[in-house]
């Protein structure tokens, strides 16, 4: 459908079927799918690709989505092969390795780790190749839902200045900027979880030998946990995910603080003894939130624009891309087959909510001693280990029958927590403390 120009009451608006805010994994994926289906899609990305983004470790179920987008070869070419995860806990003597090949469905035995600048650029170029009218260095500054229908959107870019658009549907894929959730005041702090992160890239880190060199390694320590993500070019991404109160206590610059924090975890420090930080470390504040809903009249929220919990299971990109696949069906139904729109929205909300709920249950408990103990000695009685590995693979959308085994794991977790009563209470108190919102500082 060719773009047309229409005069609105106060200015000239360009029209389109779907306007997408943000060109990260969620935005570029939904844009490619909708443009492929013949809709007139406009996407605005406030930055310019390739740009840095955190979130480099992917899940096996991502690979199926790359296949469906026709991007498997391009993504394989930039990716580190990731067959599993190495877990290191101070409660255990040595590390434990979980391999995706041990999941319930053995057909997805590995995933990838990628530099997000390269990965996001491939997804973005694909949406352009499919026919999306994509603008970079172009920020969406306003959106409104006029009574007469459609969505009016304002963009601002150095090239075109302020510009007005009239779309039939708005997709918010603005990530942790949560553009629409802020505008609609529907963003809520997560009452169950709070964490903040500090991260950087290193050269010269000691990697695991053989095929395991591509594994993500996780290290728990007194203030939270670390990730160690090897990338294809020899760089290693290292980050500390801590309680917000630990990061608030920082007195030094982020580089020094990251190095000092690494020194608190001797097993990781040994892996990095010959390594150097490349560029600067970055700190983020508490990022755990959810919006009150993910779909409304003339809009949907995808990926981080709807919710983000925690990076411990490397699930963010997979959740974002899955929500884009499900969301594309909602947009198409709303625009082409309104009789099916309500059903499509219900399916979208149910599927996205289901995956988030299952990940969240584990995330909220991941620093508890009972959880670490069980993860570090994963028994396959009642096929529990296979079910956990399927969850860790992101296999939550295809009806793989893992839920009885996950339920059995929960029962065992609560029994183990009761047996480890004192440690459980101590960890629970610490997590309650981390949920306290700091009082604003008084000014004279």
Identified binder of ligand FAD from the candidate list 54, 269, 382, 430, rule CB under 6 A: 54
Cα 439 to Cα 444: distance, rounded to the nearest angstrom: 15
Can residue 25 be called a binding residue for ligand FAD (CB under 6 A)?
Answer: yes
Specify burial of residue 322 (Cβ count, 10 A radius: 0-12, 13-18, 19+): buried
Dig out the tokens for 407 from the structure: 């339920």
Is 262 or 305 the residue whose CB approaches ligand FAD more closely? 305
Three-state DSSP state, 218: strand
Identified binder of ligand FAD from the candidate list 27, 84, 224, 244, rule CB under 6 A: 27
Is 89 or 314 the residue whose CB approaches ligand FAD more closely? 314
Cα 243 to Cα 249: distance, rounded to the nearest angstrom: 10
Q: Which of residues 265-324 bind ligand FAD (CB under 6 A)?
A: 284, 287, 303-305, 308, 311, 314-318, 320
Number of residues that bind ligand FAD (CB under 6 A): 41
Is 306 or 413 the residue whose CB approaches ligand FAD more closely? 306
- Shortest separation between residue 23's beta carbon and ligand FAD, angstroms: 5
Is 187 or 413 the residue whose CB approaches ligand FAD more closely? 187
Dig out the tokens for 253 from the structure: 């610059």
Q: Which of residues 162-201 bind ligand FAD (CB under 6 A)?
A: 173-177, 179, 197, 199
What is the contact mask toward ligand FAD in residues 374 to 393, using x (rule: CB under 6 A)?
A: --------------------
Helix (H) or strand (E) holding 14: strand 12-21
Q: What are phi and psi of 307, to 5 degrees?
A: -160, 150
Identified binder of ligand FAD from the candidate list 16, 20, 21, 41, rule CB under 6 A: 21
| Crossing angle of the two packed helices 316-336 and 60-69, in degrees rounded to 10 | 40
Identified binder of ligand FAD from the candidate list 139, 206, 293, 298, rule CB under 6 A: 139
User: Angle at CA 280, nearest 5°, toward 276 and 285?
Assistant: 125
Identified binder of ligand FAD from the candidate list 15, 23, 98, 230, rule CB under 6 A: 23
Can residue 45 be called a binding residue for ligand FAD (CB under 6 A)?
Answer: yes
Per the DSSP assignment, residues forming a β-bridge with 99 are 84
Can residue 103 be called a binding residue for ligand FAD (CB under 6 A)?
Answer: no
103-116 per-residue burial string, b: 16 or more CB within 10 A, e: under 16: bbbeebebbbbbbb
- Shortest separation between residue 393's beta carbon and ligand FAD, angstroms: 12
Per the DSSP assignment, residues forming a β-bridge with 85 are 98, 216
- Give the C-alpha distances (Å, rounded to integers) separating 59 from 67, 215, 388: 14, 11, 13
Identified binder of ligand FAD from the candidate list 83, 214, 224, 239, rule CB under 6 A: 239
Q: What is the DSSP letter of 109?
A: -
Q: Which residues bind ligand FAD (CB under 6 A)?
A: 21-27, 44-47, 53-58, 139-140, 173-177, 179, 197, 199, 239, 284, 287, 303-305, 308, 311, 314-318, 320
């Amino acid at each position: 459908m060719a773009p047309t120009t229409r005069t609105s009451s106060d200015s000239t608006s360009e029209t389109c079927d779907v306007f997408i805010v943000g060109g990260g994994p969620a935005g570029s994926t939904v844009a490619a799918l909708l443009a492929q289906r013949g809709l007139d899609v406009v996407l605005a990305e406030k930055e310019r690709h390739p740009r840095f983004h955190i979130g480099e470790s992917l899940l096996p179920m991502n690979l199926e989505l790359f296949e469906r987008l026709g991007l498997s070869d391009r993504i394989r070419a930039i990716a580190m092969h990731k067959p599993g995860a190495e877990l290191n806990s101070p409660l255990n003597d040595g590390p434990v390795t979980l391999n995706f090949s041990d999941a319930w469905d053995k057909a997805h035995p590995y995933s990838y780790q990628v530099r997000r600048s390269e990965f996001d650029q491939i997804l973005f170029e694909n949406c352009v190749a499919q026919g999306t009218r994509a603008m970079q260095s172009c920020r969406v500054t306003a959106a409104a839902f006029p009574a007469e229908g459609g969505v009016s959107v304002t963009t601002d870019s150095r090239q075109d200045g302020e510009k007005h658009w009239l779309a039939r549907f708005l997709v918010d894929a603005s990530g942790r900027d949560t553009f629409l959730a802020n505008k609609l005041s529907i963003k809520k702090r997560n009452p169950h979880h709070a964490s903040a992160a500090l991260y950087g890239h290193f050269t010269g880190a000691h990697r695991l030998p053989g095929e395991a060199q591509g594994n993500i390694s996780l290290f728990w320590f007194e203030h939270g946990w670390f990730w160690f993500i090897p990338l294809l070019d020899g760089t290693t991404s290292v980050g500390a995910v801590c309680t917000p109160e630990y990061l608030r206590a920082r007195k030094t610059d982020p580089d020094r603080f990251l190095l000092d924090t690494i020194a608190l975890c001797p097993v990781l420090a040994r892996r990095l003894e010959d390594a150097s930080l490349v560029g600067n470390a970055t700190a983020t504040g508490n990022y755990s939130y959810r919006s009150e809903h993910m779909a409304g009249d003339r809009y949907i929220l995808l990926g981080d624009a709807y919710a983000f919990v925690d990076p411990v299971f490397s699930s963010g990109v997979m959740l974002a891309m899955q929500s884009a696949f499900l969301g594309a069906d909602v947009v198409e139904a709303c625009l082409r087959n309104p009789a099916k729109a309500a059903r499509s929205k219900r399916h979208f909300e149910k599927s996205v909510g289901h995956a988030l709920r299952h990940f969240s249950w584990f995330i909220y408990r991941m620093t508890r001693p009972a959880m670490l103990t069980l993860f570090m000695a994963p028994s396959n009685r009642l096929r529990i280990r296979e079910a956990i590995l399927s969850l860790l693979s992101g296999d939550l959308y295809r009806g793989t029958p893992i839920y009885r085994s996950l339920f059995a794991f929960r029962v065992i977790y609560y029994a183990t927590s009761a047996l480890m009563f004192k440690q459980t209470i101590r960890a629970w108190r610490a997590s309650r403390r981390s949920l306290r919102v700091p009082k604003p500082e008084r000014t004279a």
